[in-house]
Structure 1
Amino acid sequence: MKHLRRLAPYARKRKYLIMAAIASSLISQGAFLIMPKLLGDIVDQVFQGGQRDRLAFYGLLILFLSVVRGAFNFLEIIAGARCGQAVLLDLRQDLYAHLCRLSFTYFDKTRTGQLISRITSDLEPVSMFLTWGFRMIFKNILLFVGVVVICLRMHVTLTLVSMSALPLLTLTAMVIGGKIRPAYESAREQLGVLTSLLQENIQGIRLIKMYVKEKAEIARFEQESETLREKTYKAQRLDAIYYPITGLWAGLASLLVLWYGGLQVINGSLTLGEYVAFETYLIFITLPTRMLGFMVSAMLRTDASMERVHAIIDAVPDITSPPRAASHSPVSGRVDFEDVSFGYTHESSTLTDLAFTIEAEETVGIIGATGCGKSTLISLIPRFYDPQRGRVLIDGHDVRQWELSALRRQIGIVFQDTFLFSGTLRDNIAYANPDTDDEDVARVARLAALDEFIQQLPEGYDTVVGERGERLSGGQQQRLSIARTLLWQPRILLLDDCTSSLDTHTEYQIQQNLESERKGRTTIIIAQRASALSTADRVFVLESGRVVETGTPSSLARDTGSLYARLRASQGPSGTDDPLPTTPEGVP
């Protein structure tokens, strides 16, 4: 239960709610425990003793105790539920906050569906335990102890007889409980697999329909669903086995109490009222002993879920700010690569011995075959990854010595794979600066050649783009991403093949618009088409993770033997073809 114990720091923050729930439970259970004694007194004094005038008194007393029990039971439920939901809120927020702090390498290795499953489905058993389970465990323990104490005061021998089945109940709970946790762990893992499959298929529904793979994916989903059903059924079957077995042990204990208690009543050593009260207490004690298995099962399921949750919380980000981080802002924008080598795994190498300098306010283009490491190269500048060897410096300072948020505030990147949130056009453009005014939003939209299109829409900038921007074309998504990055006003601008979906006219228009934004900014442009680099001060040509050529676009183009010249010539006047062969980038 080590993972369950890690909820204690969260619970301590809500100690007053816990104290209120415990106090209410004590009063409620205390009132409940008095009732069998009153029932026994009614049998002895009213039914057998003939004191009928006391019936009204006992009736009112039982009614009063019922009201007290109900009122404090209500307070216990309210306090327990509020405490449980508050703890769950803190846990969920800490989990998501830690997830946001994790490095790119973690997300490279972990499926999105598994993460969604852990943040949602795995918190369900935790939620049930916090809001209901822990109260039931406390109440049943309290009820068990209270009944045992009262029964021992009434008749020691009969109490021991009634508890004769307790070892069998305990053994049953331990044996079956030991099998429940692995069964639920397996079911939870399978739920993560199914969630991942569902998430991938929903995102790739166009591809599925295009290749007429609906039947194949339905069959695949049915197979994983069937596996989940079997694993869940196995866990539930273990739960189901427990109750009939414990019911048998409890029935045997009741039979022994009936035999021995009946003899005591016949012999006159026990009154009928005491026996009735004792039998009622025996019913009370049977409930918590039979609930023992449920309590063990609930705790094991919660512990299994917490283990999966803590697998995220315990993950250590490999990209963090150093203890004495510096901001070094504002920056001029000089970028240095000093003998940098990097691979996504230790067995592969994506970049090898990169050594170059990009001066402040310089515009540099990077071109090369697909998979040669262009995107990987620029991902080292904002420290999405750290090189295995060498250093990346900004203004002469190693990026590993920067405070991460300060570093990334100086850098803006337009990713190759555009991502948009399911809000409005304005929401997406102003994502990094939500308080910016509409004039600035419109200004960057004009720079990205997007404003004219937006003005033609009935709702203008308030138009909802749909999930992941599905209502926009690929080119419109790229232009929106460019506008969003320009509004960030970075000192270092990284453009990762962000005009690949645009026609050459729109691409040229954006290039000309960005010319006015070059002052005070270092710009690195990744492109497949040579035409996208026409405004660059210099061009780096990459091949298999190495810079093989460097020069101005015009000087490289004049060198007919250069790789850049061959690329430019093979693309033709428009520069729309991709003539280079692909090389593996080594991404796992």
Structure 2
Amino acid sequence: MKHLATLNKYFIKYKWRFLTGLICTVISIVFSVFQPIMVRQIFDLLAQNLDNYRLISDTGLKGFFRAEFSRVLAFYGISILLFALLSGFFLYLQRQTLIVMSRYIEYDLKNEIYQHYQVLDLNFFKMHRTGDLMSRITEDVSRVRMYVGPAIMYATRTVFMIVIVVYLMIEVNPLLTLYTLSPLPLLALIIYYVNRIIHRKSERIQAQLSNITSIAQESYSGIRVIKSYIQEEGSIKHFEEASEAYKESSVSLAKTDALFQPSMALMIGLSVVLTIFAGGIQVINGVITVGNLAEFVIYVNMLMFPFFSIGMVASMIQRASASQQRLNEFLQIEPQIKNPVGARNITIEGEVTFSNVSFTYPHTGIQAIKDFNLTIKPGQKIAVIGRTGSGKSTLAQLLIRMYDPQEGAVLIDGQDIRQVKLESLRTQISYVPQDVFLFSDTIANNIRFGTPEAGIEAVQTAARQASVERDILGFKEGFDTLVGERGVTLSGGQKQRISIARGLIKDPNLLVFDDCLSAVDARTEKEIIGNLYAYLKDKTAIIITHRIFALFEFDKIIVLDDGRIVETGTHEELLSLNGYYTDLYARQQSGEEEPLIE
């Protein structure tokens, strides 16, 4: 239960529903236990009056006796029916409180997990598969709900039912109670043994389910790659293997679960046999009445469901424990990137400083930036050029604080960004990533994603500046066109330009473009660069690319190699060095790479 202890805060939150459910449970049980008491009284009444009825059967009192006896039986019958209705009514209220409470807890738990996912840093998502994250917030939460709802409900009813019924049985005859309950220690041992097996198997099943979800999610997202490489059969086989392992584990768990029902049916049956045998002897000896024996048999049958539910509740608890353990693994992870104590808001003017920055990716151990120093004045336009893996994109990730450097500091307007509130920092920086991501929504909503309050005029202006307005107006629904999952209905160039528009609509003083023109043609690129040149007139801009934009007059061009600055200067200054930049420029001119210059 130690893993499930984290859910106690929800029981405290919904304590009135929980307490009301417990009260309704007790009342329902009280009304239900009145029924065997009244059955006992009926049997005893029959036994006591049967001889009297035979004595007066030949007299005129026979009709009167039958009428009075019928009225008494009718009273008892109506009373039993009334108690059954009242018991059922409070049982209904019990479910309305405890099961509804479980739905509220499920809602809160899913929101807690999702909110925690949102604050975890980028490194966490690089180390965990999407399918596993999805499985935990769906399947695992669903199993936990079975604990906070049905398991709690059945457990409380079982406890109160056993306590009340056993007390009434002892009041009638302690020795017969002992005979009736003697099989229970063996039942407890079976439950303990099987529970350990269920817990172990539940952990394995949930891990396998996460694996299946991950495989399916990756296959759906990469379906075009699968088809282009004719790997449908391989993908199907991979999924079948994972499903087969999940099926075998699930069947094994089902077989273990199946052990509960026969075991407890055997114990209950044994209790009934012992009750009738031992009770019959005591009736013969005059220790108890026939009514007491009938009452005991009903009590044993009333205990049948509680004892059956012990196994069911134990199974639910073990599965929930395994699932909550998986949830706790993530919920207990502290984000590495978070607001420190005393973090403050700032107004970004545009000065950026990288001071002796070194950074190694924690999930790979690759050092991307080494002793990097760079100062960018407000309003300057800086190009960062280098081959793949040189550390260009890492600079952008550090600037918007997706990661923190292990050494050195990144400063904006002279302030270490680690002392600035994340919301304040990222709100005032437009970042257009290399890996474009569009949501399954309209084009307009994708453009205004970072500024949901923006009107359609601002959306259209941003699209025009990104040279995508003509394409959008060519669609039947215009800006209301749904782009599909990850923008599947658009071309690569259209997605990139919509992503650029998303960055421009924020109108910040600092912009970072991470190789965001790789999928557009030369003519469109020139148009975009022309628009950007006017738009960025008084803004600080960092343009990361592996190609040269000679049309754009940069204040400084930085050439990176292996995480270090190897060349720096203007376009003309770098050409005079006859180094990496000159070589790249010559290759672009000769057509080895697409010419992007005039």
Q: Distance between the aligned counterparts of 1:518 and 1:396, measured in 2?
A: 22
- The residue that corresponds to 1:339 in the other structure is 356
Within the alignment, does 1:413 sit opposite 2:431 as a pair? Answer: yes
SS in 2 for 1:370: coil
Structure with higher Rg: it is 2
* Uncovered stretches (5+) of structure 2, i.e. residues with no partner: 51-68
Task: Provide the C-alpha distance between the structure 2 equivalents of 1:347 and 1:416, rounded to a whole number of angstroms.
Answer: 22
In structure 2, what residue type is equivalent to 1:450?
Answer: V
After TM superposition, the structure 1 stretch with the greater mean CA deviation from structure 2, 90-99 or 281-290, is: 281-290
Aligned pairs for 1:267-346 within 5 A: 267-328=285-346, 330-345=347-362
Bigger mean CA offset, 433-442 vs 470-479: 433-442
For 1:120-142, what per-residue CA distance to the aligned partner results, in whole angstroms no more than 9, with x for missing partners? 11111112222322111101111
- CA displacement, residues 111-159 of structure 1 (integer Å, 9 cap, x when unaligned): 1111111011111111222232211110111111111000000111000
Aligned-partner residue type, residue 270 of structure 2: L
Partner of 1:486: 504
CA 1:340/1:533 → structure 2, altered by over 3 Å: closer, same or farther?
farther
**Structure 1 residue 572: Cα displacement:** 2.0
Is the 2:271–2:300 contact (alpha carbons within 8 Å) kept by the matching residues of 1? Answer: no
Once the two structures are TM-superposed, the CA of residue 574 in structure 1 deviates from its matched residue by 6.8
Matched residue SS, 1:393: strand
What SS class does the counterpart of residue 507 from structure 2 fall into?
A: coil
What does the per-residue CA deviation read over 1:48-87, in whole Å, with 9 as the maximum and x for residues that have no partner? 6353331110111012112211211111111112211111
The alignment partner of 1:354 has SS state of strand
* CA drift at 1:247: 2.1
Moved beyond 6 Å, runs of 4+: none
User: Is the aligned partner of 1:23 residue 2:41?
Assistant: no
User: What secondary structure does 1:421 align onto?
Assistant: coil
8 Å contact from structure 1 (residues 24, 75) kept in 2: yes
Decide which of 96, 101, 105 is 1:83's aligned counterpart: 101
Q: Residue type matched to 2:357 in 1? A: V
Q: Specify which of 575, 581, 593 is matched with residue 557 of structure 1.
A: 575
2:524 is aligned with 1:506: yes
Contact kept in structure 2, 1:530 and 1:575, CA below 8 Å:
no
Query: Is 2:516 aligned against 1:537?
Result: no
Q: Work out the CA distance in 1 between the residues paired with 2:551 and 2:284.
A: 105
2:573, 2:49 → 1: CA distance? 118
Taking the aligned partners of 1:208 and 1:338, their CA distance within structure 2 comes to 45
Written as runs of structure 1 = structure 2, the 5 A alignment for 1:112-131 is 112-131=130-149
Amino acid at match of 1:565: T
CA distance in 1 between partners of 2:543 and 2:387 (Å): 15
Matches within 5 A, 1:160-559: 160-328=178-346, 330-345=347-362, 347-531=365-549, 534-559=552-577
Question: Equivalents in 2 of 1:302, 1:286: separation in Å?
Answer: 24
Could you say what secondary structure the match of 1:337 adopts? strand
Partner of 1:65: 83
2:40 is aligned to 40
- TM-superposed CA distance for 1:26, in Å, is 1.4
Q: Is the 8 A contact 1:382 1:407 kept in 2?
A: yes
Shift of 1:577: 4.1
Partner AA of 1:20 in structure 2: T
The aligned amino acid for 1:454 is I
Matches of 1:477 and 1:48, distance apart in 2: 91
CA contact (8 A) 2:201 2:253 kept: yes
Task: Give the Cα–Cα distance (whole angstroms) in 2 for the partners of residues 341 and 541 of structure 1.
Answer: 17
Which letter does structure 2 place at the counterpart of 1:168? Answer: L
Distance 2:304 2:473 in 1: 73
Counterpart of 1:585 in structure 2 is none
CA distance in structure 1 between the aligned counterparts of 2:550 and 2:422, rounded to whole angstroms = 31
- Output the CA distance in 2 between the equivalents of 1:555 and 1:456: 44
Distance 1:475 1:573 in 2: 24
Which one is further off, 23-32 or 239-248? 239-248
Kept after mapping to 1: 8 A contact 2:268/2:300: no
Matched to 2:587, the amino acid is S
Post-superposition shift, 1:347? 4.1
Shift of 1:19: 1.9
8 Å CA contact retained: 1:265, 1:272: yes
Alignment: residue pair count: 577
Work out which of the residue numbers 579, 585, 596 in structure 2 matches 1:568. Answer: 585
Deviations 1:4-31 (A, max 9, x none): 1211111111111112211211111111
Q: For residue 434 of structure 1, report the CA deviation from its aligned partner.
A: 1.5
RMSD in angstroms over aligned alpha carbons?
A: 1.6
| TM-score of the superposed pair, with normalisation by structure 1 | 0.95
Is 493-502 or 27-36 further displaced after alignment? 27-36
| Alignment TM-score, normalising by the size of structure 2 | 0.94
1:352: Cα distance to partner? 0.7
| Secondary structure in 1 matching 2:284 | helix
